[in-house]
Amino acid sequence: MTEETPGFEEKPDVPSGATPEDAEPKADSAAAAEESAPAGDANQTAALVAQLDQARKALDERTADLQRLQAEFQNYRRRVERDRIAVKEIAVANLLTELLPVLDDIGRAREHGELVGGFKSVAESLETVAAKMGLQQFGKEGEPFDPTIHEALMHSYAPDVTETTCVAILQPGYRIGERTIRPARVAVAEPQPGAQAVKADEAEAGDDKESGGPDEG
């Protein structure tokens, strides 16, 4: 058995060339690192939040740009489609306008009973094709005169009309949809001057007869 020498205490091992005081700064640096760690994490979190906000802002800007481009593209498509339809309508109207004299000749031949044989078949085929392309004929005797669709070539007075009326269709009008490509050329008649006053007097006289005449004093 070994006997412990009284008066001596065991000390921790100290590396050669180092004094016991050298071990104390290590403990101090570890404590400082532990204190600085939370501050470093906070700075890193703040940097990440800033980067996230910047990314969100950039995403919002790109989304707005994309929506604006999409709206511009849709407007462009609608404009192109509208222009395409307008060009088509103008081309059809120009073609049918050139055919109107031929259709007038067909109408006159039909009125005189000359639309017979092969000429009749060709004429009816042409009228069918023109109708399929949207050509519509208008203008009838007895309808009120409308300066927006009628062109008056002759004028007269008539006692049996109450307003300016188309009494003869000299040349029918044609339209495509709502667009008039030629007004109907007509002869119009207006009410006979003074006819309205005469009719009013006659109406009053008729009322007096029905009521037994004027009262006598």
* CATH code for the domain of 191: 2.30.22.10
Distance between CA atoms of residues 164 and 143, nearest Å: 9
Whether residue 127 sits in one domain with residue 47 = yes
Same domain, 118 and 101: yes
**Is residue 200 one of the residues assigned to a domain?**
yes
| 95 shares its domain with 52 | yes
Helix (H, G, I), strand (E, B) or coil at 191: strand
The answer to whether residue 1 is domain-embedded is no
Residue at a domain's end among 79, 99, 133: 133
State which of 73, 102, 133 marks the end of a domain.
133
3-state secondary structure at position 182: strand
Residue 103's contacts (CB-CB under 8 Å, 6 or more residues apart) are 126, 127, 130, 174
Query: What does the pLDDT average to over 168-176?
Result: 94
Residues 79 and 98 occupy one common structural domain: yes
Count of residues in the chain = 217
Number of domains in the chain: 2
pLDDT at 202 exceeding the cut of 70: no
Higher pLDDT among residues 142 and 213, named by residue: 142
Mean pLDDT of the chain: 81
Q: Calculate what percentage of the chain has a pLDDT beyond 90.
A: 53
Using the structure block, give the residue that is written with the tokens 């006979």.
192
Residues 98 and 58 in one domain: yes
> Could you say which of 133, 160, 190 is where a domain stops?
133
Q: What is the pLDDT of residues 29-57, one digit of tens each?
A: 555 555 555 666 788 888 888 888 899 99
16: in domain:
no
Residues 122, 162, single domain; the answer is: no
| Mean pLDDT value across residues 82-106 | 92
Grade residue 178 by pLDDT with cuts at 50, 70 and 90: confident
For residue 162, being part of any structural domain is answered with yes
Same domain, 191 and 110: no
Whether residue 33 is contained in a domain is answered as no
What tokens appear for 132 in the block?
A: 């399929």
Both 65 and 119 in one domain: the answer is yes
Domain assignment of residue 89, yes or no = yes
Same domain for 122 and 70:
yes
Same domain for 156 and 77: no
Boundaries of domain holding 92: 40-133
Please give the residue that has the higher pLDDT: either 22 or 39: 39
